[in-house]
Amino acid sequence: MGKPTDLVQGTLDLLILKTVALQPMHGWGIAQRIKQVSKDVLQVNQGALYPALHRLEQQGWIQSKWGESENNRRAKYYSLTRDGAKYLRQQQAQWSRLSLAIDLVLNTT
């Protein structure tokens, strides 16, 4: 197995969408949250995070708004759009099916 920070291709989008689905969040917060929730297993490659955010915004799945951060700094907050929520549900279902299938294959003795 590789380093624990590696993310499976294409899962970054899913993780971002899931994270901002809970509440509007800025880039730094998203990276921290993913790390926390996954108990330090998943570490977002910071270089890939911002292009991904901009792409998702361009596709209309998330939208951004400038606001005040916890320590009173100007920060860009991302939140899920209605289309994004729909897309997230689809992707989540797909992911569950996939991981279930992989589980099945791996656990067959």
Partner 1 sequence: MRWYYKLPLRLRSLFRNQQTAQELNDEIQFHLQHQIEEYVARGMDPKEARRAALRLLGGPDQIKEECREMRNVSFIENFLQDLGFGFRVLRRSPGFSALAIICLTLGIGANAAVFSWIEGLLLRPFPAVAQQERLLVLVGNNRVAGDKAASGSNPDVSWPDFVDLRNNCKLVDFIADKIMGATLSIGDRAEWVAGSIVSSNYFDALGIRPLLGRGFEPAEESGRNAHPVTVISYWMWKERFHSDGGIIGKTQLFNGVPHTIIGVAPEGFYGTFVGWPIQFWVPISMQEKFEPGGYKLEDRGELWIEGFVRLKPGVTPEQAQEEISSVAKRLETDYIATNRGRDIRLLPLWKAPFNQAGELGPMLKITMAVVFFVLLIACANVSSLLLVRSLGRRQEMTIRLAIGAKRSRLLRQLLTEGLVLSMFAAAGGLLLAYLCRNLLVVFFPSSGSIVANLKGEIDWRVIAVSACVCLISTLLFGLFPAIQASKVDLASALKSESGAVFGARGRSRIRSGLVLVQLSLSFILLVGAVLMVRTLQRTRSASPGFSTDNVLTTGVDLVSAGYDEQRAKTFDDELIGRVQALPGVESAAWARVRPFSYVPFSSAPIAVDGYRPAPDELPTAEYNQVGPGYFTTLGIPLLSGREFTSADDETAPLVAIVNEKMVAQYWRGEGPVGKRLQVKGQSMRVVGVAKLAKYSTFAEAPKAFFYVPLRQNFSIRNTLNIRTSVAPATLAASLAREIHALDANLAPFEVITMRESINFTALSSQRVVVALLGIFGGLALVLAAVGLYGVMAYAVSQSTRDLGLRMALGARRANLLWLVLSHGLVLTAGGVVLGAAGALSLTRLIENLLYKVSPRDPLAFGSALVVMAIASTTACLLPAWRATRTDPVRALRE
The answer to whether 78 and 57 have CB atoms below 8 angstroms apart is yes
- When asked if residue 6 is in the footprint of partner 1 (CB under 8 A), the reply is no
Q: What is the C-alpha separation between 63 and 78, in angstroms, rounded?
A: 6
Binding partner 1 (rule: CB under 8 A), the pick from 50, 98, 101, 103 is: 50
Q: Does 91 bind partner 1 (CB under 8 A)?
A: no
CB atoms under 10 Å from CB of 94, counted, come to: 11
Out of 7, 76, 79, 91, the only residue in the binding site for partner 1 (CB under 8 A) is 76
Q: Give the residue, chosen from 8, 22, 28, 103, that forms a contact with partner 1 under the rule CB under 8 A.
A: 28
